[in-house]
Amino acid sequence: MKLHDYQEYAVKFIEEHKIAALLLDMGLGKTITTLTAINNLMYDLFEVRKVLIIAPLRVARDTWSAEIEKWEHLKHLRYSVAVGTPDERKAALNADADIYIINRENVDWLVSNTAFDYDMVVIDELSSFKNHQSKRFKALMKVRPKVKRIVGLTGTPASNGLMDLFAEFRLLDMGERLGRFIGQFRNEYFKPDKQNGYIVYSYKPLPDAEERIYEKISDITVSMKAVDHLKMPELISNEYTVKMSETEKEKYKELKDELILEVQDTEITAANAAALSNKLCQMSNGAIYDDAGEIIPIHNRKLDALEDIIESANGKPVLVAYWFKHDRTRIAERLGKLGIVYQEIKSAQSIKNWNSGKLQVALIHPASAGHGLNLQSGGNFLVWFGLTWSLELYSQTNARLWRQGQQSETVIIQHIVTKGTVDEKILKALKEKDETQSALMTAVKAELEEI
């Protein structure tokens, strides 16, 4: 196997920049690109001797090691995966290796309990360090001055807007480009949006903020979109709209207006906006948890729609993204009645079953199966039974099918949307956030023609 030209460009960029942010779209091969650069820096240029890779748990456990084993030019790299119990992690970190791989949840533990002597750090999914008050961010900042080289990898650097970029780039360049303090960053590029007196609840970017931020970070950032560099399948996004009955609509409106709903003599409360949104999402999907955690059915509109969609697929594999546990329970019950055998994508075996075409229907939860999962061999049809507010999880889940290696010429993303509900607002918000994301990706895009 040979690297693509754009990957060779990104490898060279990492080699030539001690601080590098790679904003590579899903499916462009961030892992192999970075590993090739590490190999060159270690064994050709002799600039690096010990590398730490920080990644989401499953990616740390499976993906990086699998890539090393897969590529002939990397097979001599010695790696040690430090996940599991504290004793297992310590043993892995004490092993003789070139590359040490740890999950992001254990960064604080790593810094507090071990001698941090890595001269290169790779952060897989840089966006998971967007909170400057998190333990993992503060822990890594403590040891950041010890690190000679750092690489940040992500496909979604600003999934919730430009404010995310402060912590991510503060970690990379220690505040050189966007400032060392969040207040300084806010004052420079934002203005108060929603406020009550002196209390500011949210900020919005100044008119020229995006352009100025992109300019500041452009020297250490390379950005590439999959559609520019790969023959990607066409992405078709559809909405399958379902309607509630008048009675169901009244129940929905009652909860929305009064935050309290009596369903089957059980009181359901929504104490704040987040809880309300959560409960409205549940209702849109067709069921809701009461205060005791019991499932109260509201409607079967989405289940009926899912049944129609699976039937119209005529036996072709369908991947279904769900959000709530009761979604999974109710979907499983319906599939059982239809005599359809399904599996949830969790284990290595379930991934294998999907990719080998053994499953007509597979369920996936975006939060547990978003990053680093290759499912493109198993099908080209994804149904969103329930949506998520997170652009990052939404994009990553779509990219399990819409990526390099997809055999079909099209990938179809079908959203089941309940009319007149929060579903419509979520889909609109995801589209609007994606505009900010696209602007960032475009602004610092690598122009390969100039090489």
Q: Give the per-residue pLDDT at 448.
A: 44
Same domain? For 256 and 191 the reply is no
pLDDT level of residue 220 (50, 70, 90 thresholds): very high
Most confident listed range (15-29, 40-54, 228-242, 257-271): 40-54
The b/e string for 78-109 (b: 16+ C-beta within 10 A; e otherwise) is ebbbbbeeeeebeebbeeebbbbbbbbebbbb
CATH code at position 289: 3.40.50.300
Average pLDDT over residues 329-334: 95
352 vs 113, more confident: 113
Average pLDDT over residues 39-46: 95
319 vs 375, more confident: 319
Q: Across all residues in the chain, what is the average pLDDT?
A: 87
Residue 372 has pLDDT above 80, yes or no: no
Average pLDDT over residues 330-359: 90
Same domain? For 358 and 298 the reply is yes
197: left (phi over 0), alpha (psi -120 to 50) or beta: left
CATH code at position 17: 3.40.50.10810
Same domain? For 170 and 281 the reply is no
Q: Give the per-residue pLDDT at 4.
A: 85
Q: Give the per-residue pLDDT at 78.
A: 96
Residue 181 has pLDDT above 90, yes or no: yes
Same domain? For 253 and 201 the reply is no
Most confident listed range (28-32, 175-179, 271-275): 175-179
Listed in sequence order, the residues at least 6 apart from 327 whose beta carbon sits closer than 8 Å to its beta carbon are 285, 286, 287, 385, 386
Q: Give the per-residue pLDDT at 320.
A: 96
Same domain? For 158 and 246 the reply is no
Q: Give the per-residue pLDDT at 280.
A: 84
Same domain? For 203 and 248 the reply is no
Residue 120 has pLDDT above 80, yes or no: yes
Question: Is the pTM value of this prediction over 0.85?
Answer: no
Same domain? For 241 and 312 the reply is yes
Please count the structural domains in the chain: 2
Q: Give the per-residue pLDDT at 443.
A: 47
Q: Find out whether 73 and 3 touch, Cβ atoms under 8 Å.
A: no
Residue 438 has pLDDT above 70, yes or no: no
Q: Which domain holds residue 384?
A: 234-431
pLDDT, tens digit, 9 for 90 and up, residues 399-421: 888 887 788 888 989 999 999 88
pLDDT level of residue 260 (50, 70, 90 thresholds): low
Q: Give the per-residue pLDDT at 34.
A: 97
Q: Give the per-residue pLDDT at 252.
A: 81
Same domain? For 313 and 202 the reply is no
Same domain? For 225 and 241 the reply is no
Residue 271 has pLDDT above 60, yes or no: no
200 vs 79, more confident: 79
pLDDT above 90: percentage of residues in the chain:
50
Same domain? For 164 and 282 the reply is no
pLDDT above 70: percentage of residues in the chain:
91
130 vs 27, more confident: 130
Same domain? For 149 and 275 the reply is no
Same domain? For 194 and 245 the reply is no
Q: Give the per-residue pLDDT at 450.
A: 41
Average pLDDT over residues 263-278: 60
